[in-house]
Amino acid sequence: MTVRRAKFLATLMLLTFTGLGAATSTAFSQNLSPYLTGEMEKFAPNDSPKAFPDITFVDADGKARSISDFKGKVVLLNFWATWCAPCRKEMPSLNKLQGEMGSDDFEVVAISQDLQGMGKVQDFFKKYKLENLAAYNDKTVKSGRTAGVFGLPASLILNADGKEVGRLVGPAEWDSKEARALIEKVMSGS
């Protein structure tokens, strides 16, 4: 047995028998557990915030944007499409949440995965009077795939450092008291 392998095994045994490994990896998700009720029951927190790729997309003006543009804010990152019935149902709650909580500290970033491009997204926003959300689109759908999203809608919460706190796959009422409490907990940084 090599010295390196022996040190690794000794460290692993120490963490296992003292419980330190489990305590540090689950402390973050346990800290969020009281907030995973009602509309947020399906939210899956990470054991600790994890690095998130700097995905790219375009805004309504056709300007290239990336998720790093929002660093310093807690972000509710939503992947959706105009053809997705659960997404369409969810959008008014995201619009309301942005209208009431959007600030220098928080933003809803809803990225459409519509292959038809921004025109389709802007028509949808007008039809449903989504005035609080900025229109974003990625007709290549690379942003969703890079983020590990394989079903719509999918919503991820990123902390102010741009790390993923956790995700919820499927629709939710994001303007509910449970969703607000979870977001405020992440915003508090504790």
Spatial separation of the C-alpha atoms in residues 131 and 133, rounded to whole Å: 6
**Which among 119, 120, 113, 121 is positioned nearest to 138, based on CA atoms?**
113
- Tokens 């928080």 belong to which residue? 106
Residue at 148 is within a domain: yes
More confident residue, 14 or 107: 107
Residue at 50 is within a domain: yes
CA distances from 113 to 67, 108, 151, 161 (A): 15, 16, 11, 25
* CATH classification of the domain holding 110: 3.40.30.10
Residue at 36 is within a domain: yes
| pLDDT tens, residue by residue, 128-157 | 999 999 999 999 999 999 999 999 999 999
Residue at 35 is within a domain: yes
Number of domains in the chain: 1
| pLDDT tens, residue by residue, 44-61 | 999 999 999 999 999 999
pLDDT of residue 30: 82
For 131, the domain range is 28-188
Residue at 6 is within a domain: no
Residue at 89 is within a domain: yes
Residue at 11 is within a domain: no
Residue at 23 is within a domain: no
Q: How many Cα atoms sit within 13 Å of 62 on the Cβ side?
A: 1
